[in-house]
Structure formats: structure tokens, C-alpha cells
Chains A and B, each alone.
Chain A
């Protein structure tokens, strides 16, 4: 994925998250965190470099749009990306859906914990809804990406 495509993708993710569309994705009190799912998908299907670029793009955009201390979002997303890459390389297999969803679960839990600490807002029900929504969206994204790019065949070759 070229940098320009990633920039456009990151811009779309941020606009969907902070705009009315992203807000209307909320199921009652919570909904999928599009940026987190986007970062997970990039790390999982591409590599750390692409993930870092997307984290920087989304982070800087959010830092510019939001009123939180500048750099907070960029730092948060970077930490999440490195954490996910660490888990992916050490413990998980890219070709496995359960492993992919486990990685997304870890990333979602970490992101919710970080956001709660930074915002000093604790809402367990909201966090659980976000994590569950992320997993559902992640499963859809996994199958869509794996089917589109015939990754099942590629992964089989990699295992062989």
C-alpha cells in the first residue's frame, strides 16, 4: 500500500470516526472503533512499517482535530501498533482467524484501557460493546481481505 493510499485511508478512518457517520455507528452507548480496526488490519495483512505510517497519519490528524494535548493520539496509536506487532511476531500466526481475532481483542482491550486512563472516564459497558463490535468488524474485514487477495493460498504456501 503506497503512502498516498495510506494517507487517504487514514483520513477516511478519522473522518468517519469523528464525524456524524462514525457517531451513528454507535450501537446505543458504544460501537466499533474504526481507527483501531484499521490499524489492526494494516499490521496484520501488511507489516509494521505500514502500521506505523497509518498510526502517525491518524494520530496527527486527531491531534489536530481534537482538544487533547498535542501528540497524545499519535503516541497512543504508536504504542498500540508496536504492541500488536510484538504479539504477532512472537505468538501468533497470520493465517489463523482465531489468532487474528485474539490480536484484535488484545489491541481493543489495550486501547480501551489507555483511553480510559487518559480521559479518566471509566465505562465498562461502553468498553465491552466497543471490544465486541471491533471483533465482529474484524472478522468481516479478515474474510473480506483474505478472500479478495487470495491470502489463504499464500498463507498455505508460507506454511509449507
Chain B
């Protein structure tokens, strides 16, 4: 009993001594060494524990990720559809703007708008059908324009619909003028595209020259843009020049046209 008391006293004294000396940094190296030796295993345990916890977290969040992914996909699809529809509206807006510019440039003309309601089932006929007819003031041989360019003339007319012969129709001959040189020629459709024939050999025409309508036959008002020259295709031995021209209007994409009714 006395020995226990003595041991307890010694331990207590030692503790007091440690407390006093530790205030002066006496045991700092020992404490640092202890801390370093414990830190590394503690870090390993921490990393392992975090990995286990993260693995369990993934299992719980996969469901949320899948739902969020599906929602984002749906939203993406809807946005793509909206973008496509806006793109189509932009094209329509551009075409209508060009039609408006054409109207401003030709204030003396009376223009009747019409929608394209059908095409020829075979591309050989080169016609399209519009939803205006004789009751709207349409008559045969009236000029049809789109996006500021001539695309053809009215062929047959019924009460509420009409047939438009496109420029590429082989039955259509259109008198045209080369804008810079003032030379008159005849435009028609051919296997090589739209060609202008009967141009005198001494005509100094260039690629890119604008081609407009001529009022020679009294059918077409003068000055309506038809296209521009892209190639001179006549052979050297021919007595007249033949030009290939390009009309920038894409007939397959037309949804509306303007008819010059007066």
C-alpha cells in the first residue's frame, strides 16, 4: 500500500515536471516526431475512407445523373427543332425582303403574291402551280418573279390556280439584255442549263455580267433581273455567241412568288 502510494506520487511529480518543461519547448522534438509518425497512417486511413464514401455516393447519384441527362437531351432536341424553324423563318424573311426590294424598285408594277402549291411530277415539264387564278386578275403570259429575279411566266390559268412556266422550260423564249453592253439576246432552257443565244460576235461580254429582261416582245417589262453570265459556251467557228447564265433562285425551295399583274 505504501509502495503504491509512493509510485503514484512519483508519477504525479513526473507529470507536473512534463507540464512545466513542455511550456519551454523542451519536448518539442519528441512531440514533432510523434506527430509525423502518426500523420502518415492517418492520411492513408483518410484516403481509403474517402474512396469508400465516394463509391457509395456514385451509386446514389447515378439515378439523378440519368434523369438529368434525359432532361438535357430532351431540351437539346427541342432547341435544335426551334433553331431549324428559326433558320427556315430567316430564309423566308430574306426572300420576302428581296420581294419587297423588288417592289420598291418597280413602284409602277402591280404585284400579286401567290403561294406555290405544287410542282410538276416530272422535272421535264419545268412548271409549278400557284394558288392564284383568273378571279385574282391573272392572265396568260404575265411575268412571275421571286426574290427579285424573273423565274418564268404564267402559262395556263384557271379560276383559282395557274400554271407557271419556268425559265428552263424549253417552250419558253425570253428576250433579255446584257446589262453592261446593252446587247439583246434570246434566253431559253437547254440541256446545258439557261442559255442566251444570238449575241453578236463583237459583243464584249464578261463573266458575271448581269442579264435583265427586254421589253422587245411586249410581254416582259424591261429591267427585271434574270441572272448573270457564268460561261461563254459557243464554239469559235459559230457566227453568234452563246452564253450560259445562272438564275440564283432555287426553284425547288420556292414557297411564294409575285406575279406582275399590271
Please say whether chains A and B are actual partners in one complex. yes
- Residues of chain A touching chain B, judged by Cβ–Cβ distance below 8 Å, are 14, 17-20, 22-24, 26, 29-31, 33, 35, 62, 65-68, 112, 115-116, 119-127, 130
Q: Does B198 contact A (CB under 8 A)?
A: no
Establish whether residues A120 and B171, one from each chain, have CB atoms under 8 Å apart when the complex forms. yes
- Chain A residues with CB below 8 A from B156, complex form: 67
With both chains docked as a complex, state the minimum distance between the C-beta of B153 and any C-beta of chain A, in angstroms: 14
- Asked if B129 is at the interface of the complex by the 8 Å CB criterion, the answer is yes
Are the CB atoms of A66 and B191 closer together than 8 Å?
Answer: no
B119 partner, pick from A23, A67, A120, A127, beta carbons under 8 A: A23
Of B118, B121, B124, the residue contacting A116 (CB under 8 A) is: B124
Closest to B252 in A: A23
Supposing A23-B252, A62-B121, A66-B120 touch, asked if A121 and B126 sit within 8 A by C-beta, the answer is yes
Q: Is the CB of B129 within 8 A of A67?
A: yes
Which residues of the other chain, A, contact B169 by a CB distance below 8 angstroms? 121
Residues 239-254 of B, flagged 1 when their CB comes within 8 A of A and 0 if not, give 0000000000000100
Known: A26-B252, A122-B170, A125-B191. A67 touches B127 (CB 8 A): yes
- Measured between beta carbons, the chain A residues less than 8 angstroms from B119 are 18-20, 22-23
A114–chain B nearest beta-carbon distance, Å: 10
CB distance from A137 to the nearest CB of B (A): 15
Task: List A contacts of B155 (CB < 8 A).
Answer: 67
Chain A CB count within 10 A is highest, among B124, B125, B171, B255, for B124
B118 in contact with A67 (CB, 8 Å):
no
Q: How far is the CA of A20 from the CA of B255 in the complex (A)?
A: 9
Chain B interface size band reads 20 to 34
> Do A126 and B118 have beta carbons less than 8 Å apart?
no
Secondary structure of the A contact surface, majority rule: helix
A–B Cβ pairs within 8 angstroms, 28 of them: A14-B121, A17-B121, A18-B118, A18-B129, A20-B255, A23-B252, A30-B123, A33-B122, A35-B121, A66-B121, A66-B129, A66-B163, A67-B129, A67-B155, A67-B158, A112-B124, A115-B122, A115-B124, A119-B122, A119-B125, A121-B124, A121-B169, A121-B170, A122-B191, A123-B191, A126-B123, A130-B122, A130-B123
| Given contact pairs A122-B170, A123-B191, A67 touches B122 in the complex (Cβ within 8 A) | no
- Chain A residues whose C-beta falls within 8 Å of the C-beta of B189 in the assembled complex: 121
Q: Mark B146-187, 1 if CB is under 8 A from A, else 0.
A: 000000000110100001000001110000000000000000
Contact B191 A24 (CB under 8 A): no
Which of B120, B129, B170 neighbours the largest number of chain A CB atoms within 10 Å of its CB?
B120
